[in-house]
Amino acid sequence: MALVVLGIVITCCYTEVQSVIQPYTATVHKTIPITLSVKLHNNGNPYKMVVAVLLPNGWAGSKNLTMDYTSDQGDKGTYVLMPSTTTEPSTKGLYNWPTSLLKTFGVVNNYISDMQWVVFQSDKEYTFNKEITVTVNMQLTVGADGINTNCMLAYFIGESQDGLHAIDGYIDNPHPYEYYQMYPAPPDPLKPNDPLGKIGCMVVTGGEGLEDFCHPQLATADPFKSQTDDFITVDFNGYLGQTLLFNQPVVYLHATAFDEAGNKYIVNTQTDNNKMNPVATNKYERTIWPRQFFGVPKGVSLKTMEYTFTDAGGNKVTGLNGTPTPFQYVFRCGE
C-alpha cells in the first residue's frame, strides 16, 4: 500500500522593518519627525504592536516622544506609553519591557550606557492572518537636558503577546525576524562617507557641554549625571591610543573638585586611595564616592571636577586627547 505523506507548510509570522527615516542633525529642545515602515505577518492571534526607541536618558523620552500609526488595511491610531509595571512576556514576570530590552540589546552601538529604551504599544489590539504594512510616525523633542549630544538611536518592533520570544521555526523565508526586530539607526543617506554619517550618528547642538555616545572616549565617568553622594565609576581607556600611559604598569587618578563656594579639593599624589584597577590591557577603572574621595564636609556639594591620569611617578600626566589638559566633569542632577 502506497503511503502518501502530505506536507503541511505553515506560513506565518515575521516582522520586518522596511525603512527608517530620521534626521541626523538637530537642535536641543526642538522636535524632529521620525518615520518607520514595517511589514508584519501574524497568525490571527490578537496582539498590540510594540514600538520602542533607544534614547539618551537626558532626553526624558517618556515625556518627549509621541507616535501614531496608519496601516495599508486602513487602521489608524496612536501608541501609548507601556506601563512600567507590564512585564515583558519572555521574562515570565521578572522584568518590565524597558529593563528586558536593555538587558537584551544594551545600548546597541553606543559607547556610553546613559540610555534607556522608551517603550510604547498600540492603543488597540489587532488580529490579522496575512502581511500588512504599518507606518509609524514619531515626534521626538531632543536634548531636554540642554546638553549637546552625539548618539545613535535604535528602534524595536515587537508585539505584546510574545515579547522577546525565541525563534521557534515558523519564519517565512526570506524574512529573518519572527516575533520582533531590533533595528539600529541606519547610516545617513546624505553623508554615507562622513565618519559620523556612516555610523548613523545624530548630532544635536545648540546646548552646552557634550555627551558623545558615538565615539569611544579616552576617559569616562559613569553615571554621566551624578552628585557628591553618588558612586561614580571612572574609566581610562588607554587602549585607544598611544598616550604617555600606554603599557604603563600602574595608573593613578589625579583630580581636583570645586564646591559651590569655589573651594578646591585636590587629590594629586599616588596612593592606594587613587590607584586605578587594570580591567583589561591598557584599560583601567576605579569607582569613587566623591565626598569620601575628596574629603568634602557634610552639607557641602561639589559643582565640578577635573581629572587626569598619571603613572607611578606622577610625571606622565594624561588628559584630553592625550594632552595634560584635564577632562571635565560637571556634577548635575539628570532628568
Partner 1 sequence: MKIFNKLNCLCAVLLILAWASCKVEKAKIVSESSKDITGTWQIIRAVRNGTDITNAFGVDLTPFTIQFKGNSYTISNRVPFIVDTLGTYSLDDPQIPASITFNPVGAKAVASSFYYPIVSGARNIQLTFSANADCNANQYIYTLRQVNQK
Kindly list the residues in this chain that would bind partner 1 in the complex (CB under 8 A).
Answer: 99, 102, 113, 223, 225-231, 233, 277, 285-289, 298, 332-335
The sign of the torsion formed by the CA atoms of 121, 124, 125, 126 equals negative
Cβ proximity to partner 1, 58 vs 89, nearer residue: 58
| The C-alpha cell that represents 197 in the structure block | 554619517
Residue with cell 521555526: 169
Q: How far is CA 132 from the centre of its chain?
A: 30
User: What Å distances lie between residue 304 and 226, 261, 273, 294, CA to CA?
Assistant: 11, 11, 20, 12
* Residue number with CB closer to partner 1 (35 or 287): 287
Residue 291 CB, nearest approach to partner 1 (Å): 8
User: CB 267 → partner 1: shortest distance, Å?
Assistant: 12
How far the first Cα of the chain sits from its last, in Å, is 75
Minimal distance, residue 193 CB to partner 1, in Å: 36
Say which residues have a Cβ less than 8 Å from residue 88's Cβ, sequence separation at least 6: 95, 96, 97, 99, 100, 101, 163, 164
* Max CA separation in the chain (angstroms): 97
Q: Report the nearest approach of partner 1 to the CB of residue 109 (Å).
A: 19
What nine digits make up the cell of 29?
Answer: 529642545
Q: Which is nearer to partner 1, 181 or 301 (CB)?
A: 301
Please report how close the Cβ of residue 247 comes to partner 1 at its closest, in angstroms. 20
Q: Is the Cβ of residue 48 or residue 225 nearer to partner 1 in the bound state?
A: 225
- Looking at beta carbons only, is 22 or 228 nearer to partner 1? 228
